[in-house]
Amino acid sequence: MAKKETTNSSNYDAKSIYVLEGLDPVRKRPGMYIGSTGIDGLHHLIWEVADNSIDEAMGGFCDQIEITLMPNHRVSVKDNGRGIPIDTHTQTKKSALETVMTTLHAGGKFGGDSYKVSGGLHGVGVSVVNALSRYVKVEVCKDGCVYEQEYSRGVPKGKVKKVGSCKHNGTTVIFEPDPEIFGKQDKKTEMPDYDINKILLHLRQQAYLTKGVKIVISDLRNFDKDRKISKKPEEQIVQRSALVPSHSFYFEGGIISYVKYLNRDLTARHSNIFYVTKELEGILVEASFQYTDEVSAREVSFANNIHTIEGGMHLTGFRTAMTRQLNDYARKNSLLKESDENLTGEDIRDGLTAIISIKLGEPQFEGQTKAKLGNPEARTATETVVSEGLQTYLEENPTDAREILAKCLISQKARQAAKAARDTILRKGVLDGITLPGKLADCSSKDPSKSEIFIVEGDSAGGSAKQGRDRNFQAILPLRGKILNIEKAHLDKALASKEVRSLIIALGTAIAEEFDIGKLRYHRIVIMTDADVDGAHIRTLLLTLFFRYFKAIIDEGYLYIAQPPLYRINAGKKAQYAYSEEDKLEIMEEMKKEIVAKKKSKGKEEKDEDDGEGAESSTDKSSEPETASVKGVNIQRYKGLGEMNPDQLWDTTMNPENRVLKQVTIDDAEEADKIFDILMGDEVAPRKRFIQTHAKRAKNLDI
């Protein structure tokens, strides 16, 4: 690996390390430091170690990072940065390496010039990983020598020792998470494993944001265990890497490449992608955008490479600059008349794909999760830099400018039409407390925390649900047919749909600018559709509507999907419900054993039940596997909710004591946004590729 050129900031030694407090609280309250001790917390360990390498890359001291997943949850993170200092720290009287690894808030990010910007937990990260791992080994290549130290649960197993020589600087951290922290207390369930797709998604993002750094990810967990492999982890990496393919990310274009990636399956409105970068008063601002034919916006913001999911001051500055400059250009070029109202932020954002990345010395994040940036100076810097850059871009690219403004003006007309529709539809309805949709069978409870609504497909299923429900807290809203595909339509078209209007009024939150989650009438919203292709399509259309216009309902955990049974299986007077093919086979095997036992108890010889003809009541016997036919066992295949009696629907799908509900969550909004574009958008080619790629993962298709 090539050694990076250094600047005055390359004097990275023990004097660069500042100690603030001890490490003891981490194991007592790990959730305070990594969010959770579940699967997300497990991945957070990787992010924290990798962030240190990313910080080296942002400072210009590193251009290659290698992350390797090994068996037994071990992970290796290696970089060719400066290497953690190993000389004695004046304050702790220990090696700077040991100080960094065993002391909370000890790192090169608290003072001096070691890091102008950083994205980690400001020195917290690697010590937290050490505290929460049962094994850690750090290897430092520095000034021609190799040093190493091992730890267990944050405690050094020995002193830092010199073990060899090397040609280039760098740091390698190998850690194994502690099952006492991340495993189950009952020891019956194994510790969750890493999700390679989640890791690739995160590190690809980091590569886009750190132009010129190469990030390599190798997954060696399923390597052939019969091969003769060294017991030393570092030698395992070398031996296995020669045989296992790796994923490599390197983007010379930086965030311009990121915009291209996000728009790869969409139709762009203009050819020249906007890009600006400039440092202003110590804040480095980078921004890039391109418009597409989509009706939704995709704005992704970062501060010191940390994804600020809820935006913040930098995003506000970007939006202000965009709105002002596009309005100014439209006025100067007579695209907006004097009598026309200005374009709003909503008009500007339709179809926009934008990346905003800033780097600053002292970021102020709101909340432990760093979801929002609070620095006022970040707004000023971003607004100034983007305004200057966009003004130049529009003047130098008049064709692109007119395409962008044409898109914004279409969005303005759609917004005005939608506003008129909301005024006539919503304000005269539930917003003034006058009426609810006639098809809604409401519950008697007025407490949203105790109320739930089932969105049901069709009048037949709606009738069964209304009869089977508990009227005290369960409301039923039947929808007729498939609702409008929101992914392909502006809000004005959505509000023209009777079914969409009924749903909006029933929820009580209004929509778009008037949306207020505090007015939500139910804190459990359940989508209940048939277990067939049409039902799946209706469910997807509803999920698209909620994702685009009621995302806060998903974020608050209020949206669910009902899981009605696929089969009713009965033998004699005993009946059970199967929710999957696996359930069906297990239940039938159990009933078969009971029938055999009952016959034996009566002194009758067992006959070959597998060859007997079952009294099938299913309407599609030919679709049942031969092994599923058991004499004396009846199987009813539910094609739709309307086939179920009200009491059956209550027992299996609506009774809180028995039912199975899937809560709808969004682990990664950016990826979810992309998938909705693919599955519900106008472009056929990317949807076809998606289906071909994931077809093998689909099970029990009912076509």
Which of the residues are catalytic?
A: 457, 530, 532, 534
Residue 67 falls in which region: left (phi positive, over 0), alpha (psi -120 to 50) or beta: beta
Torsions phi, psi of 148, nearest 5?
-145, 155
CA distance 156 to 152: 7
∠ CA 699-483-688, rounded to 5°: 45
27 near 153, Cβ under 8 Å? yes
CA distance 401 to 390: 10
Place of tokens 């250009």: 329
CA distance 518 to 328: 37
138 near 173, Cβ under 8 Å? yes
* Helix boundaries (H) for 333-425: 345-349, 376-396, 398-425
Is 532 labelled a binding residue? yes
55 near 49, Cβ under 8 Å? no
CA distance 73 to 384: 46
Is 530 labelled a binding residue? yes
Rounding to the nearest 10 degrees, give the CA dihedral for residues 126, 128, 134, 140.
20
Place of tokens 């006058």: 434
Taking residue 311's Cβ as centre, other Cβ atoms within 10 Å add up to: 17
Identify which of 315, 294, 295 has the alpha carbon closest to the alpha carbon of residue 303. 315
CA distance 124 to 118: 12
CA distance 355 to 297: 11
CA distance 620 to 461: 21
Return binding residues for Mg(2+). Answer: 457, 530, 532
